Amino acid sequence: MTQVPVSDSTTAANAAINQDPGPELMLECRHLGKIYSQGPEEVMVLEDVNLQVYAGERIAIVGSSGSGKTTLLNLLGGLDLPTTGDVLVAGMNLASLNETQRGQMRNRYLGFVYQFHHLLGEFTALENVCMPLLIAGLDVRRAAQRGENILTRVGLGHRLEHKPSELSGGERQRVAIARALVTEPRCVLLDEPTGNLDRHTAREIHLLMAELNTLLATSFIVVTHDEEFARSLDRVLLLRNGRLEPQGAMDGDADGC
């Protein structure tokens, strides 16, 4: 039997230890399906959807109106449960968690930004951003400190005490993004985050997201109808006939998202 020299075996062992494991798999869905009942009929919205999202990856999901993009985001975020298949966030299968545990998982690992900012009108920008931290049990002083830091990072350090009605559309959406990021989630799900903004403001939000992705290594999954923005991300996926497929070149199927 041939013996491997000690020096060679040590080198091999060290190489195995130091080998780069690659990017972390942050979110995954396997054979995902969703069926809704409409009276006696069943409507298949999603069928055998498979997706892997790695740490720091930015993915655009495009598709025609009614193709199921928002349904998919809700399933990925644990806001709804699939009819078939599994969703795993940070290795946790959402189907194995109860509603309380899914809420805790969302608060810890995920952030959400919608087309409409959904800010609470009676609270200031800072109070809106601090809300997820307070729900998670962080004390008020530390929550305020973190809220102020993230609002400053998105360019609103001078608007902390302003209520939503005192902010512009772009500023309100920045507050919504800050709220999504304040818990330092591993992945942020965005549903048409700039759909109600003018072109200039939308571009500012896109640049902000790119900057935060670089600084925080946060993954972004974005439903968007903005072709230019979609092309700027790492991957573009088309949702069509209930299935996800790679979209190398944007075409007419993405219109009217």
Q: What are the structural domains of the chain?
A: 23-254 (3.40.50.300)
What's the pLDDT tens digit per position in 38-47? 778 888 899 9
Amino acid letter for position 131: M
Return the SS3 of 15: helix
Two tokens, residue 106: 């969302």
Q: How many angstroms separate the CA atoms of 162 and 139, rounded?
A: 22
Q: Is the pTM of this model over 0.75?
A: yes
Residues of the chain with pLDDT under 70: 1-22, 248-257
Residue 126 DSSP label: H
In this predicted structure, what is the pLDDT of residue 255?
46
In this predicted structure, what is the pLDDT of residue 256?
42
Tell me the sheet residues that pair with 181.
none
